[in-house]
Amino acid sequence: MKSLDLAVRAASVLLLAQAAVHASPGAVSASKPEPALLSTNDAAPLSTLTTSTVDGDSLAVSDAEVETASIRGANIGGVFLIEPFIKPSLFDQFLSGSNPADIPVDEWTFSAALGKAEARRQLEEHWDTFVTRDHLESLAENGINWIRIPIGYWAFNVTDDEPYVDGQVPYIERLLEWSRDIGLKVELDLHGAPGSQNGYDNSGRRGTPEWLHSRVNVDRTLDVLSKMTGLAAEWSDVVRGIQILNEPSRWKWEVKDIFGFYNEAYDLVRGLAPDVYFMIHDTFLGPKEWPTLVAPRWTQALMDTHIYQMFDNYMVTMNESAHIDMVATMAEDIVKFDRSSIGVVVGEFSAATHDCTKYINGLGRGSRWEGTLQGVTDKPLCPFANCSCTGDYGSNYTEFSGHYKRFLRNYIDAQLDVYDQELVGWFFWNFRTEGAPEWDYLLGVEQGWIPKFPRTAVPKPEVSSSSSGDDESGSAAQSGASRSRLCLGEWACGAVAVLGTVVAASAALAML
């Protein structure tokens, strides 16, 4: 009976996985970049599914080519809804001399602390500089053919009593114009709803979610979707997808109520844009339960799922080999759903397998890795004898060992083997960051742990219980724990089998 109890507990922990994270690299390290230790296929031709270049001029491909291609996308996160871990410098300005309780932790408190005039000044500078045409061209040159643009509701509907500032739409339209010129397709993503749909900072307001507690909030959300879909209709050759809401929490709302909103949103979107992809999030349900979120009458519908392996106490304890093996375990039922129902897009994933990244669990919170995440763990959970957010697990990619870079490449390749080949496609989170290397697509391509396209998969190395031998920092060498760590024994493997798949992650629920 004890083993059964442990299995139930393991299943409970895994079900509490949450995907509330995002990233974007503001300024890449000013030091000279370390030469990439991995092949980045520099000699391979650029993917003909995005753009080609002749005498320095970018040539957009036809709509037909892009529409029939797998979605290979990057999130333009942290721009029109700021998050502390994507651009920490926006929030670090408040740290000196401030009462910790008064330090902003999301866009709501950021704007409230500065006041509308100063918040607008700082945010307009951020909107103007954090994502540029050069960034989009670099993404396209390395095989990206779609971008996902997360947007807070206040860009379209803000009230006088809310601290948020608007003015984002001209900058969004500039992105659409650049995308048209370059040959990128776009998904517009409603990332934050009135009242907060999940209570995470990625909704714009951290704390207790109030979204479905008020019909006023729902009506405002539908108004925002109407305006967002109207924008999509104006740019119909560029905007090919509308995500009606990012990560509404099924832990906070009844699934039937979320589905009721999805149905209302479908009628609204279809009335304005008959052909655009109608994209819904899985609300953190397992794939076997996804049919409860889908109506048979829907057309051009896609399921969005977010897959991370670091927002969970159990997953943080896994060694490198276990993380790679877990990719297939987590994806098995997702692939089955994709083949039997509507298509699936992995709207968020990254190269990270630890939660050391600054502010990744929220500003002012610690990490499971070092055992400092209050309310979640009081002991370090990393798979090593000594747990430290330095070296391979720090924010300075120039300190990454050759061993760790190869692991990152193998981990990304394991994910792309499924997301790129078996599903409709994917969007990496994020296009860039300010000191979160494993979350930075452009940096990953530059350094070689993210492939250019067409890609050549890197063979998976044999992982033994001994050190890998060429680990410069020594930290990655500790990852050769027994293969049984993947399931912590047969009882947990049974729990994983019952769950089918674990999608996205975080026990941050306990902190709300």
- Respond yes or no: is residue 83 known to be catalytic: no
Separation CA 201–CA 364 (nearest Å): 12
Is residue 304 within 8 Å of 291, Cβ to Cβ?
no
SS3 of residue 380 by DSSP: coil
Separation CA 72–CA 240 (nearest Å): 14
pLDDT band at 455 (very low <50, low <70, confident <90, very high): confident
pLDDT tens-digit series, residues 213-224: 999 999 999 999
Is residue 504 within 8 Å of 291, Cβ to Cβ?
no
Stronger pLDDT, 147 or 452, i.e. the higher one: 147
Q: What local confidence, expressed as pLDDT, does residue 5 receive?
A: 39
SS3 of residue 53 by DSSP: strand
Tokens of 286: 């397992």
- Expressed in angstroms, the distance from the first to the final Cα of the chain is 32
Separation CA 280–CA 193 (nearest Å): 14
pLDDT band at 457 (very low <50, low <70, confident <90, very high): low
Is residue 479 within 8 Å of 463, Cβ to Cβ?
yes
Catalytic residue among 348, 370, 434, 446: 348
Catalytic residue among 187, 247, 370, 438: 247
Q: What local confidence, expressed as pLDDT, does residue 233 receive?
A: 97
pLDDT tens-digit series, residues 26-74: 332 333 223 233 333 332 222 223 333 333 333 344 444 445 568 999 9
Separation CA 92–CA 197 (nearest Å): 26
Separation CA 152–CA 291 (nearest Å): 28
Separation CA 238–CA 86 (nearest Å): 26
Which stretches within 193-342 are classed as H helix?
Answer: 215-234, 255-272, 313-316, 320-340
Q: Which helix (H) or strand (E) holds 278?
A: strand 277-281
The overall average pLDDT reported for the chain is 82
List Cβ neighbours of 117 (8 Å cut-off, separation of 6 or more). Answer: none
pLDDT tens-digit series, residues 75-102: 999 999 999 999 999 999 999 877 888 9
Kindly list the structural domains of the chain, giving each domain's residue range(s) and its CATH number in brackets, ordered by start: 2-511 (3.20.20.80)
Nearest Cα neighbor of 348 from 20, 70, 85 is 20
- pTM value is 0.80
Percent over 90 (pLDDT), the chain: 72
Q: What local confidence, expressed as pLDDT, does residue 374 receive?
A: 87
Q: What is the 3-state secondary structure (H, E, C) of 239-269?
A: EEEEECCCCCCCCCCCHHHHHHHHHHHHHHH
- Respond yes or no: is residue 348 known to be catalytic: yes
Tell me the one-letter amino acid at 395: S
* Residues pairing with 185 in the sheet: 146
Q: What local confidence, expressed as pLDDT, does residue 427 receive?
A: 98
pLDDT tens-digit series, residues 362-410: 999 999 999 999 899 999 999 999 999 999 999 999 999 999 999 999 9
Cis peptide bond prior to 461, omega within 30° of 0: no
Q: What local confidence, expressed as pLDDT, does residue 41 receive?
A: 31
Q: What local confidence, expressed as pLDDT, does residue 269 receive?
A: 98
Is residue 429 within 8 Å of 77, Cβ to Cβ?
yes
CB pairs under 8 A, 24+ apart, for 161-165? 162/108, 163/108, 163/109, 163/111, 163/112, 163/116, 163/119, 164/107, 164/108, 164/111, 164/204, 165/111, 165/116, 165/119, 165/120, 165/123
Q: What local confidence, expressed as pLDDT, does residue 479 receive?
A: 33
Residue labelled with tokens 């001029």: 57
Query: Strand pairing of 51-54 and 57-60?
Result: antiparallel
Q: What local confidence, expressed as pLDDT, does residue 69 receive?
A: 61
Separation CA 455–CA 444 (nearest Å): 14
Q: What local confidence, expressed as pLDDT, does residue 70 receive?
A: 87
pLDDT of 278 > 80? The answer is yes
Nearest Cα neighbor of 373 from 355, 393, 395 is 355
pLDDT tens-digit series, residues 153-211: 999 999 999 999 999 999 999 999 999 999 999 999 999 999 999 999 999 999 999 99
